[in-house]
Amino acid sequence: MGLLTLEVVDDRVYVCGELDADSGSRLRERLFELGTVPDTAIDLDLSEVTFIDSGGLHALTRLCDSSAMVRVVATSDRVKRLLALSGLTEIVLGSVDARD
């Protein structure tokens, strides 16, 4: 079970720690709670994610693919590298140029 913390400031969610299958599920649940306000976009800042595995990647891609209201606006080098290796950069980042 990965240690993951979330901090919500306005419409941006700062994600820190380890993103795996378990913590990815918790992230999705929390974002769906936040997404109950109609027409509210949620920006994910993953610049402080220190670990991500296939379970975390799966949760992230499901989240981004299933909701146009969730977008990743920043990533850590680890997240960028895994997205590039897996060929999922466009699904998760779309046209957003996520920076460190």
20 by Cβ neighbours in 10 Å (0-12 / 13-18 / 19+) ranks as buried
pLDDT at 71: 79
Mean pLDDT of 66-73: 73
pLDDT at 39: 62
**Cα(97)–Cα(19) distance, integer angstroms:** 21
> How is residue 69 written in tokens?
């209201």
- Topology given in CATH for the domain delimited by 4-93: Transcription Regulator spoIIAA (3.30.750)
Mean pLDDT of 43-51: 91
Q: Which residue ranges make up each domain of the chain?
A: 4-93
* The pLDDT of residue 95 is above 70: no
Mean pLDDT of 70-98: 78
Look at the alpha carbons of 89, 72, 69, 65 in this order and tell me if their dihedral is positive or negative: positive
pLDDT higher at 81 or 99: 81
> How is residue 75 written in tokens?
């990533």
Tell me what the pLDDT averaged over the chain comes to.
80
